[in-house]
Amino acid sequence: MEIKTPSVVALTWTLKDTLGEVLDTLDEPVEFFIGGQDLLPKIEEALQGHEPGAKIDLHLEPEDAFGDFDENLLFLEPLALFPEGLEPGLTIEGTALPAGCNPDAPRNALYTVTEIYPEHVVLDANHPLSGIALRLHLKVESVREPTESEVGHGSCGTGFFKIEVGNDGASTAPTLH
């Protein structure tokens, strides 16, 4: 079966930055909904018309992937507002930011603690892959018709490195596959 919109495609891949550092490897096939929100538009576009067994190499500039790094999404906050045990790399939902944090910090974002200083902490609401050009080598493992449920949801429940914060404050960590 040829990939078209809508369909479900099972992919394996290796994701690298432009220096060749491997960012993610997907060895076991994972299904993605074509025509929904599971994959970046440039990836969906490149997959159209291919069949199982196809191997595709993509170069994604930041604007086609996770956008440019936005310095306006960096916030320097007083360390005293946060509980002990804060470490670089931890993530904090915007809805869980302590009282006293910058009121301009979006509450529908997921923040990564990037630096901790004696008096301050740096929170970054950029996607971890923002500002990075990506190289994606993928293989189409299978293609099938979507189920009614998948069409209704516009998803197979997987996403390409998405970070989502729900309206109820629940979030998902960065989805690697």
86 contacts: CB under 8 Å, gap ≥ 6: 79, 113, 116, 121
Task: Label residue 165 by pLDDT band (50, 70, 90).
Answer: low
Structure confidence by residue, pLDDT tens digits, 32-84: 999 998 999 999 999 999 999 999 999 999 999 999 999 999 999 999 999 99
**Residues 70-80: b if buried by 16+ CB within 10 A, e if exposed:** eeebbbebeee
- Give residue 72's pLDDT: 96
Nearest to 142 by CA among 16, 2, 43, 25: 2
Percent of the chain clearing pLDDT 70 (strictly above): 90
Task: Label residue 159 by pLDDT band (50, 70, 90).
Answer: confident
- Give residue 157's pLDDT: 85
